[in-house]
Copies of this chain bind each other. A is one copy, B any other.
Amino acid sequence: MSRDPDRKPLHLNAFLMTVGHHEAAWRLPQSPTDGTDVEHYKNLARIAERGRLDSLFLADGPVLHGDPGRRPSSILEPTVLLTALAGVTSRIGLIATASTSYNEPYNLARRFASVDHVSGGRAGWNIVTTAGADAARNFGLDDTPLHRDRYLRAAEFLDVATKLWDSWADDAVVNDKEGGVYARAERVRRIDHRGPHFRVDGPLNVRRSPQGHPLLVQAGSSEDGKDFAARYAEAVFTAQQTLEEGVAFYKDVKRRAETFGRDPDGIKILPGIVPVIGATETEALALDAELERHIVPEYGRRQLARLVGVPEERLVLDEELPDDLPTEDEIEGAKSRFTLVVELGRRERLTVRQLIGRLGGGRGHRTFAGTAEQVADTIEHWYDSGAADGFNIMPALLPSGLEVFVDQVVPILQERGLFRTEYTGTTLREHYGLPRPANRLFDTADSAAGTG
């Protein structure tokens, strides 16, 4: 296919996860032995930047996930790890997940502002509310707060954070050595926030950052999650199993954004995909099968039982899911994940063992096993069908899966005019084609005169 100059480019993020998204990745001989080794991540960052990807992305939760035996579960804190990766890259964006349920807005707003400064405007925040009683029990609670309450807190958290990021006008620092005025006091303002969850005086002790504030990303796909995304998010990470569901989700979120008075193009929809790439389709399917063969099903059954809200012994490895599962309304954990997994199992009539195999590959994200050309075709097809503004690439194996994607799939997408061949901007928002946000506490004229 030839390049079409009018075609809007798509966006690609590298979703990094220890030695790969497939839970059995670490068992393959080519995998590194330690997911906590910063050199491994630096290598991944360099590969992704070589591919001109929009960003690196790290999922996170303040809890040890799953059985220590199952897969590498020692996970470096994302703002720290991405700061380390900022030092070995110069353009690629850096999106860290952090929880609004288990942080204080002053601390987190400051940390993201700091990452944005240190990286020259490349920070993004994937805003999560963190489901699960095990996380709650690391913070003095007995159980996870109610889903709705988590989202109410998240909305207020974001309101506070945004005001803190805006508490310095872009032109506050004058550095008047002669007059003895470092910053103009009237251009640095307290926020005096008073709300049901937070009381925060401010101002922040970090000046406004290169992007104004980090790119705001959201990753939940429940009703509350979609509304939250439509209202605040600039990018949405989502798991969509079928093209039809992907198209419906895309339309739904864009429409919701419009009802909040937003430009639907100001919110990028980025489904996750797990590419398993081979020189031939047979080779790719063999790699996929090899990975699935290395799954230890007992670990997965324990996790699946928690997810669908039944005791472990109710799940029989060679039978389908029980008929009498709870409904999404009864789940206080990850609602949209619950529905996705249950629907996948029922639609394809999978046994528990098969379902575990499918989830082990990328926890509910779409797996494509094929040649680089086939993976590029699928990406293009989803993109052209209106299911995605881009993709969150989740290699089954790291670094090898990312290397193959960058060296083989990206050139095809570039050739088709679907993806950039060089970075044109320096900030993450510039990669996404999004504007630097105006300062809500100081007027626009002054903000425009700032460092943006």
**For residue A114, which residues in chain B have a CB less than 8 angstroms away from its CB?**
76-77, 80-81
Instruction: Return the contact of A173 from the options B29, B34, B118, B201 (Cβ within 8 A).
Output: B34
Residues of A108-151 at the interface with B, using a CB-CB cut-off of 8 Å, are 110-111, 113-115, 117-118, 134, 137-140
CB of A84 within 8 A of CB of B86, answer yes
Q: Does any Cβ of B come within 8 Å of A248's Cβ?
A: no
Q: Does any Cβ of B come within 8 Å of A68's Cβ?
A: yes
CA distance A118 to B79 in the complex (A): 12
CB of A106 within 8 A of CB of B185, answer no
Q: Does any Cβ of B come within 8 Å of A180's Cβ?
A: yes
**For residue A201, which residues in chain B have a CB less than 8 angstroms away from its CB?**
134, 137-138
CA distance A129 to B67 in the complex (A): 35
Q: Does any Cβ of B come within 8 Å of A385's Cβ?
A: no
The complex is assembled from copies of this chain, and their number is 2
CA distance A173 to B69 in the complex (A): 8
CB of A117 within 8 A of CB of B76, answer yes
Q: Does any Cβ of B come within 8 Å of A406's Cβ?
A: no
Instruction: Return the contact of A205 from the options B27, B63, B117, B118 (Cβ within 8 A).
Output: B63
Q: Does any Cβ of B come within 8 Å of A103's Cβ?
A: yes
Shortest CB-to-CB span from A399 to chain B, Å, is: 17
A200, closest chain B residue (CB)? B138
**How does the 8 Å CB contact mask read for A204-219 relative to B, with 1 for contact and 0 for none?**
1111000000000000
Known contacts A26-B175, A74-B173, A80-B111; A68/B138 CB under 8 A: no
Total chain A interface residues with beta-carbon distance under 8 A: 74
Q: Does any Cβ of B come within 8 Å of A62's Cβ?
A: yes
**For residue A137, which residues in chain B have a CB less than 8 angstroms away from its CB?**
199-201
Q: Does any Cβ of B come within 8 Å of A260's Cβ?
A: no
CB of A36 within 8 A of CB of B206, answer yes
A61, closest chain B residue (CB)? B205
> Interface residues, chain A, CB within 8 Å of chain B?
26-29, 33-34, 36, 38, 61-65, 67-77, 79-81, 83-84, 86-88, 102-104, 106-107, 110-111, 113-115, 117-118, 134, 137-140, 168, 172-173, 175, 177, 180-185, 187-188, 198-207, 294, 296
Q: 17 A–B contact pairs at CB < 8 A?
A: A62-B205, A63-B205, A64-B202, A68-B183, A69-B182, A72-B182, A74-B206, A74-B207, A77-B114, A80-B111, A83-B84, A87-B87, A87-B88, A137-B201, A138-B200, A138-B202, A140-B198
